[in-house]
Structure 1
Amino acid sequence: MLLELSGIKKSFKNGSRYESILENLDFKVFKGDSIAIKGKSGCGKSTLLNILGGLIFFEEGEMLFNGTNISKLTSNEWAEYRKKNISFVTQNFNLLDDRNVFDNIALPLQYIRMPKKEIKSRVEKVLHDLEIQHAMKRNISTLSGGERQRVAIARAIVKEPSILLADEPTGSLDEETEKSILRIFDELHHKGMTLIIVTHDDSVSSHCQHIYELYHKKLNYVNS
């Protein structure tokens, strides 16, 4: 078991009172899983993804990573968990416009203070794997939407995370570009990477090994 959530409750303040968005939620992720999480807008999909990524905390329940209860980590320990184990891909890419493609991808490796020689080697490899080596020195502003998403994926996987979390990763792409991005996710899964993808798109979820729906504040298993 790579990741296990049990009895998770998460609430947000709405005016003078708190409203729960997740209640008594259970979820298990095994190493190498490819999982889609579906659900209506506002049902808590992104909230759940941010909990898995250690970006927001929950009021009740436990979260285990590799069998260790990480629910009570300090803020610094959560930051270390994210840095070592988690990468995100989002619909809006979240790239740095003041840096070129190489520097955007290298950023996570710089955070963990990897030697420059190894950074260069890793970045060049992932550029080649995702077929964007031609864009290595280009400014982000000159890239197409599909190229930007490839750069975002490259940045996410270059540190070889335990889990790749993707929030509507093809939501802003045209149909042909979406297909090329989904082929990349298929290849990552076949190489053994653990993927959790939030999506409303059946064409995206159909590429995943397991499909869940977030409904009435809980995850329901739909298909495998």
Structure 2
Amino acid sequence: MIEIKNLNHGILNIDRATVPEGITAVIGRNGSGKSTLLKIISGIKIPDSGSISIEGKNPRELDTGYVSEYPDDNSIFGVVYDEIASSLRFKHADCSETERRVKEISYLFDISHLLKREMRTLSGGEKVMVALASACADNPSLLVIDEPDSHLDRGSAEVFSENVLNTGSRHIIVCTHNMETASKAGNLIFLESGRIKYQGAPGEIFEKYLKSTCFYPPLWRILK
């Protein structure tokens, strides 16, 4: 469980919130504080005041996988295999375990064919998928993903949406502009001007509060 208390940082002003285990989608208009919230949850930023605890721990005490919304900010190494293997090597995993896990996670995200490619030759969407695989490779307890769909085509977005839950992380926080992806989460947070305006099951939030807005999943309108 993630507990937020009296959190203030920039535009963010959240008195109290509890986020359950599983996948939580964070949505809202541009400038509502989504990326800032994700960086604080992941431990990248320290809030001006207030606190966030995850399973009773400070975010910086956890094994965390973080994927930035900017693909070029995610990579350290020149070759895809080395990039995905990096978190395992930093923890001194043996070579056979590293190879097994790299193959497993690259298959999960449908990028096995990219393992020998140089990072600089990849498209933005391919870089995002490699970043996801790298972030998930060592089974982090917390996985934070900032707007992956900004760079993914429809096929890659579906691979991401279908498989992110299979990464093994206890907490997965995804900021997304894809309402179909958001609708598949177990929990939904709608931010407005730095505050949590709505939180709960996606179906309830979309139907009760967002049906007449641009945030309502387009496919739902077609099916209904």
TM over 0.5: yes
Say whether the 8 Å CA contact 1:26–1:219 is kept in structure 2: no
Answering whether residue 151 of structure 2 is matched by residue 172 of structure 1, we say yes
Deviation beyond 4 Å, 4+ runs, structure 1:
none
User: Displacement, 1:151?
Assistant: 1.4
Offset at 1:186? 4.4
Which residue of the partner structure matches residue 210 of structure 1?
187
TM-score normalised according to structure 2 size: 0.78
* Structure 1 gap ranges (5+): 12-20, 72-77
Q: Which digits, 9 at most, give the CA deviation of each residue in 1:79-136, with x for residues without a partner? A: xx2xx42111233323437521110001112222333332222212212333322222
RMSD: 2.3
Alignment partner, residue 19 of structure 2 = 29
Structure 2's unaligned 5+ residue stretches are 202-224
Aligned residues: 200
User: 1:58 deviation in Å?
Assistant: 1.2
What's the counterpart of residue 103 of structure 2?
124
In structure 2, the CA distance between the partners of 1:159 and 1:25, relative to structure 1 (3 Å rule), is: farther
1:153 correspondence with 2:138: no
Check 1:142–1:111 CA distance in 2 against 1; reply closer, same or farther (3 A cut): same
Instruction: Give 1:40 shift.
Output: 1.4
Confirm whether residue 66 of structure 1 aligns to residue 44 of structure 2.
no
Residue matched to 1:87:
65
CA contact (8 A) 2:75 2:131 kept: no
Contact 1:25/1:217 (CA < 8 Å) preserved in 2? no
Q: 1:44 aligns with which of 33, 38, 63?
A: 33
Q: Which has the higher contact order (CA 8 A, sep 6+)?
A: 1
Say if 1:97 and 1:54 are closer, same or farther in 2 by CA, change over 3 A. Answer: closer
Whichever residue aligns with residue 23 of structure 1, its letter is: N
Shift of 1:6: 0.8
What letter corresponds to residue 103 of structure 2 in structure 1?
E
Q: Determine the C-alpha separation between the residues in 1 that align with 2:77 and 2:65.
A: 21
1:98-109 to 2 correspondences below 5 Å: 99-109=78-88
**Equivalent pairs: percent with the same residue?**
28
> Which whole-Å deviations, capped at 9, do the CAs of 1:49-80 have from their partners, x for residues lacking one?
00001111112212222224x38xxxxxx3xx
Q: Report the secondary structure of 1:170's partner residue.
A: helix
Structure 1 range deviating more: 195-204 or 172-181: 172-181
CA contact (8 A) 1:162 1:193 kept: yes
Richer in strand (by share) = 1
Letter in 2 for 1:8: L
In the alignment, residue 120 of structure 1 is paired with which amino acid? E
For the 8 Å contact 1:5–1:63, the answer to whether it is kept is yes
Paired with 1:64 and 1:91, the residues of 2 have a C-alpha distance of: 24
How far apart, in 1, do the equivalents of 2:92 and 2:163 lie? Answer: 27
